Chains A and B, each alone.
Chain A
Amino acid sequence: MKRVGLESSLAIAEAVRLAGVDVVSAYPITPQTHIIERIAQMVADGDLNASYIPVESEHSAMSGCLGAAAMGVRTFTATAGQGLELMHEVLPVASAMRLPVVMAICNRALSSPLSIWGDHSDIMAARDSGWVQMFAENGQQAFDLTLCAFRIAEDVEVLLPTAINIDGFHLSHVIESVLIPEQGEVDKFLPELPRPYVLDPRKPLTMGDFATPELYIEAKKSQDVALRNSKKVILQAWQEFEGVFGRRYSPVETYRADGASVLLLTMGSFSEVAMEAIDRLRESGEKVGLIRLRLWRPFPFEEFRQVASQADLLVVLDRAVSFGGPGPVCSEVQAALYPLSKKPQVAGFIGGLGGRDITTEGFEDMIRNARKKADAGRLGEVEIIGVRE
């Protein structure tokens, strides 16, 4: 294992190389371009023995991955923003057909106005596509979770496509130090797993069949149960990962949350900024802590409730708008808390849209603002913060 300075995008490309991916089918889009350019270079240079399919659109990129995954080979793609939207039609097909495609999403705002910069609008619009979805906070996690994604997706108990979300620019274009393991270590963690159902002319089968109303709902139930059950394998994969590489991941991670009466909840790279804010507030004697939601789908209900239920106030940052509704993460956590008898009040904020920064001071303000609203009994509506008036 060696520590190198590497852009997060290139760290993901490195994970793809070490995973020995067989087929990459991708279309370039900012801010994902560096990932697939690097992979294309690796394939061209003979550093990665894979088929690289330069398709004409993201719709084709995902379709190419579907075909390759159906043949039973390790498959990767990456996209962002509008690219994920154009891919959308094929996303639920991949999960319903139980094809373990792995995809990195460099989260980007949606047009219009056209924005190449980061927020979570793209993945929130693809939330219900049936994919395993997780969020990375830094370059190391981007690398680690990409390796884990193959281990999870291809497990015979899972067989579901898996997306690693990294914030566009805030993560994708940041160079920082990343520990890159040796091939042997990766091979130990990521063996080639047997695939029970693949396209093979010697053993013909039908995939992606047609279903009348007599069958469709059974197919959906089976798919939903598979996604819910994938959590067991995700936990196991992360445990194995810790065993080999020494770094630990959990569906819900916390920072200084012990005894906190106020908890902030974030996803993605802004979590590390929020940690700075938590440190400052803790130093001034405030009982605040942080929840970092690592696993977005399947939603980790148990782990989340365990951590969140003890607080008095939960402050949720959404980096996407559900127009006319609450923030998508906020509505999710509220739904998760609702059945509990002891639960915190929830203050929902939307911020960091279209690449707008949130600083440590911004997070401190957010927590103060939430406290004020809670004291005044004004927590009802979600608030978009950092907006010029």
Chain B
Amino acid sequence: MSKLTEIRWHGRGGQGAVTSAEVMGLSAIEEGKFAQAFPSFGPERRGAPVLAFNRISDSEHIRMRSAVTQPDIVVVLDPGLLGIIDVTRGLKEGGVLIINSSKSLLDIKSEFEGPWTLAVVDATAIAMEVLKIPIVNTAMLGAMVKVTGVVKLESLAEPLGERFGKLAEKNIAACRRAYDEVSIAAQGAVSQRPEKTFGEVTWPSWQELLPGGVVTDAGNARSYRTGDWRSDRPIWDHDRCIKCGVCMLFCPEGCVEQNEQGYFEANYYYCKGCGICARECWTQAITMVEEAKA
């Protein structure tokens, strides 16, 4: 059997993780390899954590169709996910972990060093400079190709051209910038894996389901932390705030509340970071700040 490379992309709905996987798969096929690209199928919600996958084989049709649970390569498009999702879960020894972050390689190493090659690139900064929007998928592709060499940088050009049309040139530029700027740390000790704990979701057994799957705890959506979907958070500047409450009126989530001093603040358990409050604020008292930097 020929070597199989399995890749897992972590992003948020709307950030282009699925596109990354598609372009990666098409590039590999372009090189004459066999490849798969697929999303984790599910309800689509902008901002919600999503997964996309690749399998790449040099010489064989790939029959495996289940989700990638023991990846060789993990790519994290959104630094905000690092605190809420175990991105290193199942990552093989000798694998590669590539993170989009404005933090230095040293800082990232202190958190994510393990028996794998660790790489960091400030893809958001590159995307903002080159594309003027914080969509980092093409930059992350460049970083990924540099660190792993699963395909050649040139092979990305045609699929990127097809996918982005008029915007292809800028996306290829973002891709190249990240290729040049990514910082890489050598593999850590095998015994060393990041010690992080994440809330495990538990599901009921079939015996525990009520007839017809009836849900009796009314209003349980209240416990759903939609704040996990947020990549930017609104911050209020009290010097500019006139306490008019427009932010509260426009918040589609109903999660902006007035505090005892009369100022408004978002309940970050629910705030999805949509930015409507910041856009509607008459006095520009609200700025959206990248979650990882807040």
B204 proximal to A (CB < 8 A): yes
Within 8 Å CB of A205, what residues of B?
214-216, 218
A273 proximal to B (CB < 8 A): no
Do A222 and B209 touch (CB < 8 A)?
A: yes
- Report which residue of B203, B211, B215 has the largest number of chain A beta carbons within 10 angstroms of its beta carbon: B211
Q: Within the assembled complex, what's the spacing in Å between the Cα atoms of A203 and B215? A: 11
Do B212 and A208 touch (CB < 8 A)?
A: yes
Nearest neighbor of A94 in chain B, beta-carbon distance: B212
Nearest CB in chain A: distance from B133 CB, A: 30
Q: A218-B205, A225-B206 are in contact. Are A206 and B218 (CB under 8 A)?
A: yes
Q: A212-B42, A214-B203 are in contact. Are A219 and B218 (CB under 8 A)?
A: no
Nearest neighbor of B217 in chain A, beta-carbon distance: A205
Q: A204-B218, A205-B218, A212-B42 are in contact. Are A221 and B206 (CB under 8 A)?
A: yes
A197 proximal to B (CB < 8 A): yes
Within 8 Å CB of B223, what residues of A?
none
Q: Within the assembled complex, what's the spacing in Å between the Cα atoms of A197 and B212? A: 9
Nearest CB in chain B: distance from A160 CB, A: 9
Do A219 and B211 touch (CB < 8 A)?
A: no
Chain B residues in the interface with A (C-beta under 8 A): 42-43, 201, 203-207, 209-216, 218-219
Task: Select one of A196, A214, A215, A217 contacting B211, CB under 8 A.
Answer: A196
A358 proximal to B (CB < 8 A): no
Contact with B along A259-302 (1 / 0, CB 8 A): 00000000000000000000000000000000000000000000
Task: Select one of B42, B211, B218 contacting A159, CB under 8 A.
Answer: B211
A207 proximal to B (CB < 8 A): yes
Do B209 and A219 touch (CB < 8 A)?
A: yes
Q: Within the assembled complex, what's the spacing in Å between the Cα atoms of A196 and B214? A: 10
Q: Which of A164-181 contact B (CB under 8 A)?
A: none
Nearest neighbor of B220 in chain A, beta-carbon distance: A206
Nearest neighbor of A217 in chain B, beta-carbon distance: B206
Q: Within the assembled complex, what's the spacing in Å between the Cα atoms of A196 and B43? A: 31
Q: A203-B218, A209-B213, A222-B206 are in contact. List 14 more A-B contacts (CB 8 A).
A: A98-B211, A197-B211, A197-B212, A197-B216, A205-B215, A205-B216, A207-B215, A210-B43, A214-B203, A215-B213, A218-B206, A221-B206, A222-B207, A226-B211
Q: A197-B216, A205-B218, A212-B42 are in contact. Are A218 and B203 (CB under 8 A)?
A: yes
Do A206 and B215 touch (CB < 8 A)?
A: yes
Nearest neighbor of A211 in chain B, beta-carbon distance: B213
A350 proximal to B (CB < 8 A): no
Nearest CB in chain A: distance from B242 CB, A: 39
A96 proximal to B (CB < 8 A): yes
A384 proximal to B (CB < 8 A): no
- Report which residue of A98, A214, A218 has the largest number of chain B beta carbons within 10 angstroms of its beta carbon: A218
Nearest neighbor of B219 in chain A, beta-carbon distance: A204
Q: Within the assembled complex, what's the spacing in Å between the Cα atoms of A96 and B214? A: 10
Q: Within the assembled complex, what's the spacing in Å between the Cα atoms of A225 and B42? A: 27
Within 8 Å CB of A214, what residues of B?
201, 203
6 smallest beta-carbon distances between A and B, as pairs: A98-B212, A204-B218, A206-B215, A218-B206, A221-B206, A98-B211
A21 proximal to B (CB < 8 A): no
Q: Within the assembled complex, what's the spacing in Å between the Cα atoms of A217 and B211? A: 14
Within 8 Å CB of B210, what residues of A?
197
Nearest CB in chain A: distance from B192 CB, A: 32
Nearest CB in chain B: distance from A210 CB, A: 8
Do A218 and B212 touch (CB < 8 A)?
A: no
Task: Select one of B43, B201, B209 contacting A218, CB under 8 A.
Answer: B209
A97 proximal to B (CB < 8 A): yes
Nearest neighbor of A96 in chain B, beta-carbon distance: B212
Within 8 Å CB of A218, what residues of B?
203-206, 209
Nearest neighbor of B203 in chain A, beta-carbon distance: A214
Q: Within the assembled complex, what's the spacing in Å between the Cα atoms of A207 and B212? A: 7
Q: Within the assembled complex, what's the spacing in Å between the Cα atoms of A51 and B212? A: 25
A99 proximal to B (CB < 8 A): yes
Q: A197-B210, A222-B209 are in contact. Are A215 and B215 (CB under 8 A)?
A: no
Within 8 Å CB of B215, what residues of A?
205-207, 209
Nearest CB in chain B: distance from A384 CB, A: 40
Q: Within the assembled complex, what's the spacing in Å between the Cα atoms of A97 and B216? A: 14
Within 8 Å CB of A211, what residues of B?
213
Nearest CB in chain B: distance from A90 CB, A: 14
18 pairs of residues in contact across A and B, judged by CB atoms under 8 Å:
A96-B213, A197-B211, A197-B214, A197-B216, A203-B218, A205-B214, A206-B215, A207-B212, A207-B214, A210-B43, A211-B213, A212-B43, A214-B203, A215-B213, A218-B206, A222-B206, A222-B211, A226-B211
Within 8 Å CB of A225, what residues of B?
206
Within 8 Å CB of B42, what residues of A?
212
Nearest neighbor of A157 in chain B, beta-carbon distance: B211
Nearest CB in chain A: distance from B186 CB, A: 38
Do B212 and A159 touch (CB < 8 A)?
A: yes
Nearest neighbor of A212 in chain B, beta-carbon distance: B42
Do B212 and A99 touch (CB < 8 A)?
A: yes
Within 8 Å CB of B209, what residues of A?
218-219, 222
Within 8 Å CB of B211, what residues of A?
98, 159, 196-197, 222, 226
Nearest neighbor of A70 in chain B, beta-carbon distance: B212
Q: Within the assembled complex, what's the spacing in Å between the Cα atoms of A219 and B207? A: 9
- Report which residue of B43, B209, B214, B216 has the largest number of chain A beta carbons within 10 angstroms of its beta carbon: B214
Nearest CB in chain A: distance from B215 CB, A: 4
Within 8 Å CB of B219, what residues of A?
204
Within 8 Å CB of A206, what residues of B?
214-215, 218
